[in-house]
Structure 1
Amino acid sequence: MSAPFRSHWGLDPEVLFLNHGSFGACPTAVLQKQSELRARMEAEPVRFLHREIEPLLDEARATLADFVDADAEDVSFVANATSGVTTVLRSLRFEPGDELLTTDHEYNASRNALDFVAAQWGAKVVVAKLPWPVTSAQSIVDVVLAHVTPRTRLFLVDHVSSQTALVMPVARLISELRAKGIETLVDGAHGPGMVPLSLRSLGAGYYTGNCHKWLCAPKGAAFLHVRRDLQEGMTPLAVSHGRNSPRTDRSRFRLLFDWTGTMDPTAALCVPEALRVVGGLLPGGWAEVMANNRSKALAARALLCERMKTAPACPEDMVGSMAVVTLPAGYPEQPEPPLYLDPVHLRLFDEYRIEVPIVAWPKPPHRHVRVSAQLYNTPEEYRALADALEALLR
């Protein structure tokens, strides 16, 4: 993919930005749309936030729901996927001794929410230790199912693991667990825009996804999808006017989640613009965008594995728009808490102006480099990363 795509983003031209996965990056055209919406809101805040906001949210929600193949009535905007996970966990009720199942690849923030809620109810968090490296998606399904007991009440899983960039076999996991009467909460922080997504087909009880990552919407745009039969009892983190609203023209789910207090809704309202702008950059639309990014991630992984002389950590069918590559032993300075300030990460930025995360996995001293692939990235950038890593190793 050629460099001109970078002109659609306001990224620092002096930095090789290979970390779209952490916080995304929003195109300038989408940010311009957000500025226009903010100006409209501030010109008459009462009109915008009191009289105009519902139809605006409905329109944005309908566009997003169409993209993820869901009924718009089952989708609500939230600030981020962490909020979505916490919303579901704090809305559910458990009994002492109930088991809440997850994996050792689960995102730390979501795992913290799971531990917090389990402690409140006297429930137990059960962690399935997944094989690493991974030989097949089925091996993950087998390990998870081996941890299911009669006390298992919920399964929390990343759609795409943050630490290891694995595209989890969520469809198979959801189907197998639902057959056993167990619902799944999918932390889809990286899912929308990275992998094709049909929430109707997936059938998860709960799915929350970010729009600011691979959909490239502004920060503060995410969604929570709750299957219709599970919506009763769902309560947003901030309880507001919807709880005792006498209205009958909107569902209780809508009334509770659409207004949780004064905030800036423009990030959510820009989701349709982000879908339009990024999807319009290639003739094949979003299908081509996702396929292009995945192809680029696989090529980057192959290059880095060759240069680092390490083997791929998972099969190709478990790779999306990110990939991790194991770093060989011998890099100077071992990481110390906080782990995201890994010395190699800092040296790559300070000495080579490369922004890319170094992940301690499964624990120090084992380390991986996690590369992201977005339209604005080029093969030359991954070669520059490989050169820098080799230089640091020497």
Structure 2
Amino acid sequence: MAAVNGTSAADANSQIHKKPRLYADPSPPLFTPSDILYEFSHHDPTVARINNGSFGSCPSSVISAQNELQIQWLRQPDDFYFNQLQPKILQSRTIIKDLINADHVDEVSIVDNATTAAAIVLQQIAWGFAEGKFNHGDAAVMLHYAYGAVKKSVEAYVTRAGGYVIEVPLPFPVNSVDEIVHEFRQALQRGKQNGRRVRLAVIDHVTSMPTVVIPVKELVAICREEGVDQVFVDAAHGIGCVDIDMKQIGADFYTSNLHKWYFCPPSVAFLYCKRSINNSDLHHPVVSHEYGNGLAIESGWIGTRDYSAQLVVPKVLEFINRFEGGINGIKKRNHECVVEMGQMLVEAWGTHLGCPPEMCSSMVMVGLPACLGISSDHDALNLRTCLREKFGVEVPIYYRSPKDGEDGGVTGYARISYHVYNKVDDYYKFRDAINQLVHNAVTCASLPIS
């Protein structure tokens, strides 16, 4: 379960296909376990932090690089603004373009987070209704598992503009990809009833809560077959967590945070917009004097603020390339470790995972003992608070309402993450905390109300 292994740097380099390397030394040393401990020594050592999925993690070397950029800006902001900012943003965009296999750097804009990217895409859809390009009642389809902020954005932009929103009901626990594909096809058919057009499909790549990897390539292909106007893939957890290839996925828009699984500081994300799209209709929701110069340029300056998180992408790439296999090696090990730890937990508690191992990434849903009595979202939040404050375990808890006729089943699931800084002891600490609660006959009804 060590974070890194001891193969040669040359072997590691060979696994990074057509990715830029930014070292003066073409063969930097691979990280050792002690190096990893140092890079994340600012983490609270008393907490089992198995929730990388919420806020990500940034290593010390990247934080130092960010601080240097902040000082450069503050030392001489005029010089930094006129001579350094845009070239550095372009360098970050170019690295992202290569990482996601986009055709051109103009297809990549850098924004604060995936929520901002969603606002850019949905704003365009709202204008389509307002300007009469779409008919009142035309549909947008999104997954029931869609992130809460994206659901609110759809409500704010699409529903208010006159669009009809259809949620794709997905089962949980999930047993197969076929279940998702079936429900998605059904939702598209509902969207086309009564002469409506489906103007937009919003598809998660890795859902947040509950977490499951969605078969995006298959769903995008179905959208093309069914005549959906545009497809937006919300991959807040994508880069650094699952494989991303814009040519293979084929979506019109794709966004991912870099501060979750790609080691950047908060907050930075990219928005990919396929070049065939009429990009003149896409604008950053914060209007600056760059308005009308293209989305990438608009996004590169939205007023005086701290842009340093967007500028450290080259340093992050250096950090990542010191792991065996680079980002692909990290993703593979994280997936294998989170599955191993998830299976250890469900065996200890006599429960089950929320999906097959092949349908999870670096996160997996782990069923909690039914005797804890998780019967509401409020119970789930109280249990999460108890684990944090009493046991030093940080993990999100999900409540699944029982199906009709179901009695005594698992209604609570923990979403565990695994990243390079995690240790086996983090998951044993979580296991032992739940076992102690069960041994003491503690239920959510007996927990203090938070």
Displacement of 1:116 in angstroms is 1.4
User: How many residues were matched structurally?
Assistant: 385
CA RMSD of aligned residues (A): 1.9
- Residue deviations 1:323-374, cap 9 Å, x none? 011223221675555x77x121111111211111112235899221010000
The letter of the residue matching 2:218 is R
For the 8 Å contact 1:321–1:372, the answer to whether it is kept is yes
Displacement of 1:309 in angstroms is 1.1
Alignment correspondent of 1:7: 38
Q: How does 1:268-279 map to 2 (within 5 A)?
A: 268-279=310-321
The letter of the residue matching 1:266 is S
- Residue deviations 1:197-242, cap 9 Å, x none? 1112211111111000000101011111111121230011112222
- Residue deviations 1:2-21, cap 9 Å, x none? 36423211211111111111
1:40 aligns with 2:88: no
SS at match of 2:240: coil
TM-score, normalized by length of structure 1? 0.93
Alignment correspondent of 2:269: 222
Alignment correspondent of 2:28: none
1:209 aligns with 2:241: no
For the 8 Å contact 1:6–1:375, the answer to whether it is kept is no
Distance 1:284 1:369 in 2: 29
1:144 aligns with 2:176: no
Alignment correspondent of 1:345: 384
Distance 1:362 1:115 in 2: 24
Displacement of 1:168 in angstroms is 0.5
Q: Identify if the C-alpha distance between structure 1 residues 80 and 135 changes in structure 2 by more than 3 Å, giving closer, same or farther.
A: same
Alignment correspondent of 1:184: 231
1:242 aligns with 2:284: no
For the 8 Å contact 1:21–1:190, the answer to whether it is kept is yes
The letter of the residue matching 1:91 is Q
Alignment correspondent of 2:303: 261
For the 8 Å contact 1:278–1:286, the answer to whether it is kept is yes
Of residues 89, 97, 107, the one that matches 1:74 is: 107
SS at match of 2:214: coil
Alignment correspondent of 1:27: 59
Distance 2:292 2:207 in 1: 39
1:50 aligns with 2:82: yes
TM-score, normalized by length of structure 2? 0.82
- Residue deviations 1:249-287, cap 9 Å, x none? xxx33333322222211101012212221331x221111
The letter of the residue matching 1:377 is N
Alignment correspondent of 1:163: 209
Displacement of 1:119 in angstroms is 2.4
Distance 2:413 2:272 in 1: 32
1:232 aligns with 2:272: no
Distance 1:155 1:114 in 2: 11
The letter of the residue matching 1:107 is Y
Distance 2:178 2:377 in 1: 34
The letter of the residue matching 1:162 is S
- The range that moved more, 82-91 or 176-185, is 176-185
- The range that moved more, 4-13 or 207-216, is 4-13
SS at match of 1:261: coil
For the 8 Å contact 1:165–1:370, the answer to whether it is kept is yes
Of residues 345, 348, 351, the one that matches 1:304 is: 345
SS at match of 1:389: helix
SS at match of 1:225: strand
For the 8 Å contact 1:16–1:381, the answer to whether it is kept is yes
For the 8 Å contact 2:188–2:226, the answer to whether it is kept is no
- Residue deviations 1:287-334, cap 9 Å, x none? 111000000110011111111211222112111000011223221675
Q: Identify if the C-alpha distance between structure 1 residues 336 and 189 changes in structure 2 by more than 3 Å, giving closer, same or farther.
A: closer
For the 8 Å contact 2:376–2:401, the answer to whether it is kept is no
Q: Identify if the C-alpha distance between structure 1 residues 119 and 312 changes in structure 2 by more than 3 Å, giving closer, same or farther.
A: same
Of residues 398, 405, 427, the one that matches 1:382 is: 427
1:110 aligns with 2:143: no
1:372 aligns with 2:417: yes
Distance 2:90 2:186 in 1: 42
Distance 1:103 1:286 in 2: 28
SS at match of 1:228: coil
The letter of the residue matching 1:235 is H
Q: Identify if the C-alpha distance between structure 1 residues 314 and 332 changes in structure 2 by more than 3 Å, giving closer, same or farther.
A: closer
Q: Identify if the C-alpha distance between structure 1 residues 293 and 227 changes in structure 2 by more than 3 Å, giving closer, same or farther.
A: same
Of residues 125, 129, 145, the one that matches 2:165 is: 125
Alignment correspondent of 1:87: 120
1:98 aligns with 2:115: no
Computing the radius of gyration from Cα coordinates, the structure with the larger value is 2
Of residues 385, 390, 393, the one that matches 1:354 is: 393
SS at match of 2:383: helix
For the 8 Å contact 2:354–2:364, the answer to whether it is kept is no
Distance 1:363 1:349 in 2: 26
For the 8 Å contact 1:103–1:128, the answer to whether it is kept is yes
Of residues 409, 420, 437, the one that matches 1:392 is: 437
- The range that moved more, 32-41 or 95-104, is 95-104
Identity of matched residues, % = 30
Displacement of 1:101 in angstroms is 0.5
Displacement of 1:393 in angstroms is 2.0
SS at match of 2:150: helix
Distance 2:115 2:138 in 1: 23
